[in-house]
Amino acid sequence: MIDEERKKYLQQLDDTNVTWIALKEVLDEAIDMGVNSALVDGIDPNDRTWRSGYAQALKDTLATIERYRKCG
């Protein structure tokens, strides 16, 4: 899929689209779990770094999808 096609299809995911609502809920939940697990006491520093990176990557993915949704 080329960039223009991706933008076209993602622009169809408005705030009332059930696919978008479900996808956003899944990503928000995964972000929250990643952040919460990184804050757990007694976690190894390497694991904390990995979990924080995981949460940030999901946030970046969500931001990218939002940017494509609002292009146009």
**What are the extents of the domains in the chain?**
3-69
pLDDT (0 to 100) of residue 19: 93
Note down pLDDT in tens along the chain; length 72 residues: 888 898 889 898 888 999 999 999 999 999 998 888 888 877 788 888 888 899 999 999 999 999 988 875
pLDDT (0 to 100) of residue 18: 94
pLDDT (0 to 100) of residue 72: 59
Nearest CA to 68 among 25, 9, 28?
Answer: 9
Listed in sequence order, the residues at least 6 apart from 31 whose beta carbon sits closer than 8 Å to its beta carbon are: 55, 58, 59, 62
Hey, what amino acid is at 56?
A: Q
Q: In terms of C-beta density within 10 A (0-12 exposed, 13-18 middle, 19 or more buried), how is residue 15 classed? A: exposed
